[in-house]
Amino acid sequence: MAVTVKTGTEVRSPLDVAKIRADFPILSRAVNGKPVVYLDNAATSQKPRQVIGAMRAVFEEYNANIHRGVYEFSEQTTAAFEGARAKVARFIGAHDDREVIFVRNATEGVNLVAYTWGRENIRSGDRIISTVLEHHSDFVPWQQLAKDVGAQIVMIDVDDDGRLRREQLSAEIKKGAKLLAITHTSNGLGTVNPVKEIVAEARAAGATVLVDAAQAVPHTPVDVTDLDCDFLVFSGHKMLAPPGSGGVWGRIGLLERMRPFLFGGDMISRVTVEKTEWNELPWKFEAGTSSYVDAIGLGAAVDYLEAVGVANIHDHELSLVAYLLPRLSEIPGVEVYGPKTLDDRVGVVSFNIEGIHPHDVATIFDREGVCVRAGHHCNQLLMTRLGVAATTRASFYLYNTTDECDALLGAIDRAKKVFKV
Amino acid sequence: MAVTVKTGTEVRSPLDVAKIRADFPILSRAVNGKPVVYLDNAATSQKPRQVIGAMRAVFEEYNANIHRGVYEFSEQTTAAFEGARAKVARFIGAHDDREVIFVRNATEGVNLVAYTWGRENIRSGDRIISTVLEHHSDFVPWQQLAKDVGAQIVMIDVDDDGRLRREQLSAEIKKGAKLLAITHTSNGLGTVNPVKEIVAEARAAGATVLVDAAQAVPHTPVDVTDLDCDFLVFSGHKMLAPPGSGGVWGRIGLLERMRPFLFGGDMISRVTVEKTEWNELPWKFEAGTSSYVDAIGLGAAVDYLEAVGVANIHDHELSLVAYLLPRLSEIPGVEVYGPKTLDDRVGVVSFNIEGIHPHDVATIFDREGVCVRAGHHCNQLLMTRLGVAATTRASFYLYNTTDECDALLGAIDRAKKVFKV
Amino acid sequence: MDDMYRDYILDHYKNPRNQGELEGATNSYSDSNPLCGDEISMALRIDGDRVADVRFNGKGCAISQASASILTEEIKGKTLDEVKAIDRDHILENLGIPISPARIKCALLSLKTLKGAAWGLPAWPGEDEAKARSAG
Amino acid sequence: MDDMYRDYILDHYKNPRNQGELEGATNSYSDSNPLCGDEISMALRIDGDRVADVRFNGKGCAISQASASILTEEIKGKTLDEVKAIDRDHILENLGIPISPARIKCALLSLKTLKGAAWGLPAWPGEDEAKARSAG
Ligand SMILES: Cc1ncc(COP(=O)(O)O)c(C=O)c1O
Ligand SMILES: Cc1ncc(COP(=O)(O)O)c(C=O)c1O
């Protein structure tokens, strides 16, 4: 395996990790008598007391339903909820708060676009470009839409290091496409796509571009204005916020022309038996009682991330990759998937140990307190491409340490001993 | 106004309200220097420390993403999440946990059924029966579906007390309908419909029946097996649980035949470029990372409600209605809407004060610490029917007291003084 | 609250100035706030570049109606440019009472209606230009 | 964990019994666990009412493969009724190790496959009858 990061490559972390860890109550827990080593951040992140506290404050101090109440609690909750939207908008570089729609998660975000913009714009014979790096959540909605309307899915491949085949993508973009739905960062391998240049290319060729930023917004600075895409989705639970929070960002011009997705309370302006007029953006897309406490939690998470600095978090994660990758690849029988360099990647490290199935690896790791993911990571197309059924994946966040990398390496050793490989 | 409940009508509450109140941190708060009197429970309920604590325990003790993790935290979170589903299933009388699908709220629940069962079964010319009591969330999705496929919406009226016109409903059911979408309990007036007999009538005539139980499940015992409906929706945030939790219950036979709603991670079993196989029920309908902490909060809320007893809560609310209704109707210039008796109603009391707009009423109440709702309550069809633009609505829950009714009456007095009416 | 429902506010609410129809109106406009059910229609008679006369009709809460009444008093005789320069802050100042966020829409409905009438536009520059209601 | 990966489990994993193809098979079935990628196919030769011989092939985790190996050893020579009576609890007991909830599916895949072969059904009575996968 050609890992180009060598042992001894020192990348300094800019973070005061000890201070950060003190904010996360769960990190002082033990699992099976060992301190927990949480390395499943690509699945979901842990939450700092600031987020837990912000949610609790709603419940204990001022909870009321939003938008409709003419009393103080309701005004306070509404202000916190809309304040969270403003924070999120600023965090992702949106010009206008109305471009941020709160959804449960990235998956709902993609579906919202597929059911509205997609069903209104994609017709029989149209081409939709996708990639084998896509998470199922950014593939299956388009596959189903294509099936329903008779559109065509064009798949872009990766090279053996899990990097998108740029020439293939460019060639397919040139042939024309209605939509390019592409992940910013792969959750299976940690690959970061050159999204900005891809968006420019695709839009110049007339395609609308949706960016799945579920693994990007938590780990790298993301700016929708700079990316210049049409839609972008992400999940709060992967960025220190509770599950139930997440967002779709869309260009206001597109959002205005789109029909609403879910119908009901709060998204209407006037209802008669014959017809309904919609509320203004962004509420036109937020039917029923929003998960406003989760959204307020997301606002607190954004505050936390901004205080630490997402660019710093990215550098910190790379310092861990620089520590882990060479050590990992020196272990006989360990195969690492994905980028073997520090360029254009985040802190996701996927690997397998010869002779031990990833599920057995994860079970043994668990006894050592090490939480990793084993499976297809909602990336079955990518697994098929890599020729494996599953991998073991360690994924970092701002609170992880090199000691935890050592714990992971120790757990690999343990697994090999148990399995005598 | 013919209020048949007279002052002095004593209905004893079976609840130890002081003990219950101690569980709700927010109830000891002050608003504008006055103790908060929270009477906006039909909009959303407050949360007991048991629910707040259950959510916090996830974050601080064992949080991990569900279903996929082969490590202890993930197994623990999965068990808590699926345990919450089992609690909800039992609470609403479902035979099978797989019949309970977690959604954000009742609104998403109705939309899920409209986008899947609805779009697969309702055709041009089909009749959909609705009522003027419906919340926008159980009307607009059907209105839009009807518009898209060319179906017809048949509206059922109410009498002047806000009770459904049964003869009209029966006559329309006899004419045949594909769907009856009906609210169990009106959020605007507190009317409880005779849902069981209506369901039997409609299903015998070949209609599929969806019951909007958003105001029922929190306030009255609801049993889907006894009701024998086809679908039922409700929201967690109205029953002591956090916003972001809620459920659709559906007959398993229907759910199995339905196409999924949202597509993506967790709802699939196998994905290839060409086609996708769905996961089993209920996960087939739960795409992406569920709001699992909210769902676990809902499980804790169900525990709380079961310990208190929903039938007791219902009796408690009626004791407050019995206290408030006659006193309210004795006030000159006050008009009460909806049922004037204690039969078939819950603790929702809608009224207006002559010469004062409901928004001004609510603003003045707020200065007295009294939180009520003023507006159309997402019931514009009902408001039109009643010939008013808005009403003031007080709605009770298990923690409300007759003292709080007195505070409300005092606030009315204050409003009349301010407005000199 | 006592701050909010001052005597002059209630006086404007109960005895609205310039209420009724306007003969010879040159510009008119109606708007509403569906959430509250507040409604205001306003008619101007513009003579040269001045608002020669104004009338309004409406129903709704004290804040929306008093705001309309006060506004009509203010604009009578003003030039169109002066009228078009009136903004949110001016209205809120003129009302002279603290308005909570949930009631801002009530206070500003009269301005919205006036601007519709003065510009002869359904929406006016700098305010709600992105309002994208579409009927479904 | 040391409880889970006992020597005999690892031995069955590394040296599976009854692995391979079965000449003259009367019944066969394959199943998989898409989440893990575990796969097992099983072939029986049924002679009268007895399982005269059995072979399996598979790939996947130690638990799924050891479970299959142990199961084939057990059923050889048994009557069909005896085979059909084998249930979850029996399998888990026979494995003799603590199985965490996330790994139950691995442990039971062999049973699921066996039942498919024994009943000649894609699903078998009393297990997953509600499995409603539809392709989309
Ligand atoms: C009868 C009824 N149906 C549906 C809803 C919608 O609930 P949610 O906003 O939680 O989706 C409500 C909430 O007010 C309601 O009272
Ligand atoms: C790249 C990517 N896209 C989409 C998703 C779906 O996120 P969620 O489950 O929060 O909807 C994930 C989560 O794993 C992801 O990594």
Domains and CATH numbers, chain C: 3-135 (3.90.1010.10)
Task: Find tokens 């959540």 and name the residue.
Answer: A137
Nearest to B380 among A46, A270, A380 (CB): A270
Ordered strands of the C50-59 beta sheet: C27-33, C38-47, C50-59
Mean pLDDT over B359-383 rounds to 96
Q: Is the CB of A212 under 6 A from ligand 2?
A: yes
Type of residue numbered B258: M
Q: Give the residue extent of every domain in chain A.
A: 17-31+309-418, 51-307
Q: What is the mean pLDDT of chain D?
A: 86
Buried b (16+ CB within 10 A) or exposed e, B224-251: beebebbbbbbbbbbbbbbbbbbbbbbb
| Architecture of the A51-307 domain | 3-Layer(aba) Sandwich (3.40)
3-state DSSP call for residue A160? coil
| Beta-strand runs (E) in A168-275 | 179-183, 208-212, 231-235, 246-250, 268-271
Mean pLDDT over A191-214 rounds to 98
* Minimum mean pLDDT range among A135-149, D6-20, D107-121: D107-121
Query: How many C-beta neighbours within 10 Å does residue C41 have?
Result: 18
Q: Is the pLDDT of residue C131 over 50?
A: no
Residue-wise pLDDT for C15-60, tens only, equals 999 999 999 999 999 998 877 778 999 999 999 999 999 999 999 9
CA distance C85 to C75: 11
| Closest approach of B226 to chain A, Cα-based (Å) | 28
Indicate if the alpha-carbon torsion angle D102, D107, D112, D115 is positive or negative. negative
Question: Where residue D132 falls among pLDDT bands split at 50, 70, 90?
Answer: very low
* Minimal-distance CA residue of chain C relative to A76: C101
Q: What is the model's pLDDT at position C2?
A: 56
B281–D132 C-beta distance less than 8 A = yes
Q: What is the model's pLDDT at position D126?
A: 43
With contact defined as beta carbons under 8 Å apart, do D27 and D117 qualify? yes
With beta carbons under 8 A apart, name residues in chain C contacting A275.
Answer: 135-136
CA distance B157 to B134: 11
Nearest to B363 among C10, C34, C103 (CB): C103
Question: Where residue D125 falls among pLDDT bands split at 50, 70, 90?
Answer: very low
Query: How many C-beta neighbours within 10 Å does residue D21 have?
Result: 11
Question: Where residue A2 falls among pLDDT bands split at 50, 70, 90?
Answer: low
Mean pLDDT over A72-86 rounds to 97
Closest atom, ligand 2, to C-alpha of A185: 1
Ordered strands of the D38-47 beta sheet: D27-33, D38-47, D50-59
Residue nearest to atom 7 of ligand 1 (CA): B106
* Nearest by Cα to A86 from A77, A98, A76: A98
Which ranges of A14-59 does DSSP label H, i.e. alpha helix?
A: 17-21, 49-57
Q: Supply the pTM of this predicted model.
A: 0.95
* Nearest by Cα to A290 from A99, A89, A64, A96: A64
Ordered strands of the B208-212 beta sheet: B100-102, B246-250, B231-235, B208-212, B179-183, B127-131, B152-156
Question: Where residue B239 falls among pLDDT bands split at 50, 70, 90?
Answer: very high
CA D36 to chain centre: 15
Query: How many C-beta neighbours within 10 Å does residue D73 have?
Result: 14
With contact defined as beta carbons under 8 Å apart, do A110 and A138 qualify? yes
CA distance C126 to A397: 43
Task: Quickly list DSSP for B116-129.
Answer: IIIHHH--TT-EEE
Fold agreement (B17-31+309-418, B51-307) = no
Overall fold of domain B17-31+309-418 = Aspartate Aminotransferase, domain 1 (3.90.1150)
Phi (first) and psi of residue A350, to 5 degrees: -105, 135
Residue nearest to atom 16 of ligand 1 (CA): B187
CA distance A267 to B49: 31
Phi (first) and psi of residue B259, to 5 degrees: -70, 150
3-state DSSP call for residue B100? strand
List beta partners, residue A211.
A182, A232
| Burial class, A113, CB count within 10 angstroms (exposed 0-12 / middle 13-18 / buried 19+) | buried
* Nearest by Cα to A4 from A345, A353, A399, A388: A345
With beta carbons under 8 A apart, name residues in chain B contacting D135.
Answer: 275-278
Q: Is the CB of A191 under 6 A from ligand 2?
A: no
CA distance A313 to A309: 6
Contacts of D7 (CB under 8 A, 6+ apart): none
Task: Find tokens 């007895």 and name the residue.
Answer: D50
What ipTM was reported for this prediction? Answer: 0.94
Query: How many C-beta neighbours within 10 Å does residue B160 have?
Result: 11
Residue-wise pLDDT for A322-368, tens only, equals 999 999 999 999 999 999 999 999 999 999 999 999 999 999 999 99
Mean pLDDT over B380-408 rounds to 96
For chain B, list the contacting chains (3+ Cβ pairs, <8 Å): A, C, D
Residues with CB under 6 A from ligand 1: A 265, 288-289; B 42, 105-107, 135, 137-138, 183, 187, 212, 214-215, 235, 237, 378
Given ligand 2 and candidates A113, A134, A215, A298, which is best to mutate, with the most ligand atoms within 8 Å of its CB? Answer: A215
* DSSP conformation class of C122: S
Task: Estimate the share of chain A in helix, then strand, then coil, as percent rounded to the nearest 5.
Answer: 45, 20, 40
CA distance A295 to A112: 18
CA distance B103 to B137: 14
Contacts of B300 (CB under 8 A, 6+ apart): B50, B51, B53, B54, B55, B84, B241
Task: Quickly list DSSP for B151-203.
Answer: -EEEEEPB-TTS-B-HHHHHHHHHT--SEEEEESB-TTT-BBP-HHHHHHHHH
Q: What is the model's pLDDT at position D2?
A: 56
Q: What is the model's pLDDT at position C101?
A: 87
CA B14 to chain centre: 23
| Beta-strand runs (E) in C7-135 | 27-33, 38-47, 50-59
With contact defined as beta carbons under 8 Å apart, do A344 and A197 qualify? no
Closest atom, ligand 2, to C-alpha of A212: 3
* DSSP conformation class of A332: T
CA distance C11 to D75: 94
Q: What percent of chain D has pLDDT over 90?
A: 71
CA distance A37 to A410: 12
CA distance A89 to A97: 5
Question: Where residue B328 falls among pLDDT bands split at 50, 70, 90?
Answer: very high
Query: Quick check: is B378 catalytic?
Result: yes
With contact defined as beta carbons under 8 Å apart, do B336 and B1 qualify? yes
Residue A15 in tokens: 């973070």
Query: How many C-beta neighbours within 10 Å does residue A73 have?
Result: 23
List beta partners, residue B373.
B393
Q: Is the pLDDT of residue D131 over 80?
A: no
Ligand positioned closest to the Cα atom of A239: 2
Q: Is the pLDDT of residue A201 over 70?
A: yes
Q: What is the model's pLDDT at position D130?
A: 33
CA A147 to chain centre: 26
* Nearest by Cα to A11 from A285, A322, A366: A322
Buried b (16+ CB within 10 A) or exposed e, A22-33: ebbbbbebebee
Task: Estimate the share of chain C in helix, then strand, then coil, as percent rounded to the nearest 5.
Answer: 40, 25, 35
Q: What is the model's pLDDT at position D36?
A: 75
Which ranges of B330-398 does DSSP label H, i.e. alpha helix?
A: 358-367, 380-386
With contact defined as beta carbons under 8 Å apart, do A397 and A317 qualify? yes
Nearest to C61 among B147, B359, B366 (CB): B359
The pairing of strands A348-353 and A370-371 is unpaired
Residue-wise pLDDT for B189-222, tens only, equals 999 999 999 999 999 999 999 999 999 999 999 9
Q: What is the model's pLDDT at position A253?
A: 97
| Closest approach of A73 to chain C, Cα-based (Å) | 11
With contact defined as beta carbons under 8 Å apart, do B39 and B404 qualify? yes
| Closest approach of B316 to chain D, Cα-based (Å) | 41
| Closest approach of D47 to chain A, Cα-based (Å) | 36
CA distance A351 to A327: 13
CA distance A263 to B187: 18
Q: Is the CB of A146 under 6 A from ligand 2?
A: no
3-state DSSP call for residue A370? strand
Q: Enumerate helices (H) and strands (E) in chain C, giving the number of each.
A: 5, 3
Q: What percent of chain D has pLDDT over 70?
A: 86
The pairing of strands C27-33 and B152-156 is unpaired
Residue-wise pLDDT for A374-396, tens only, equals 999 999 999 999 999 899 999 99
Q: What is the model's pLDDT at position B70?
A: 87
Cα separation values, B187 from C8, C31, C122, Å: 36, 28, 34
